[in-house]
Structure 1
């Protein structure tokens, strides 16, 4: 099954790749690797803001991480000139969670992105990963995730 068909089965349509919010490029292709800049938690309704451990649930944080993953795939699609069949695998995700000092469930939050990548990409979605706390994130968003993808 193609990636686009799997996404459709999951009820996901990739949005246009978000424009950079500052002085950087959204992705860099180096050999067979695509390094995608951090994507902030945002959906069709706007930015998903909040702080884990201060009124935002782990489930809401995981949904924010999934939104980041969707943006990561949108950037990848743009980098591949619209051809997601070029994807070999997700190599690594690095997730940042806007959280209080005593919040320790960052891995559960970033699972929202990891679980989505596996659901959308199958074994090609399995990846190495980091999930870390941040005292704050740009625009007050809940989650930011960057990724490295390998192309065929």
Structure 2
């Protein structure tokens, strides 16, 4: 069996809080004592993950600016600021809607980075799986 990079496991484990926040309400759990409501936890966790993903784009721009398909500093800042403004100013539902838009946009950027051979196909496949898990979890949370 081939040895998988640590980032593979971490990326998939990173989607688990989204899944937990989407599925626990089906069992009657809507909040975690001391932490808050699951929809709020999912939205704040989404902010952290989006910050992390846009930070990866910043690093890519820093280390491979000539090969980047466009200015990743600008692209990642626009995406993150839109999501952050929705999070702090527009209410929880709009924050989740903004995240539902941001995750596929960032995945599309990663697709372009893969085409430019700045990230591997393996990484893009895992990012796609993690994004789909996060996206569907947030969609379930939004409509619940």
Q: Normalising to structure 2: TM-score of the pair?
A: 0.31
Structure (1 or 2) with the greater strand fraction: 1
Structure of higher CA gyration radius: 2
Q: Normalising to structure 1: TM-score of the pair?
A: 0.30
Structure (1 or 2) with the greater helix fraction: 2
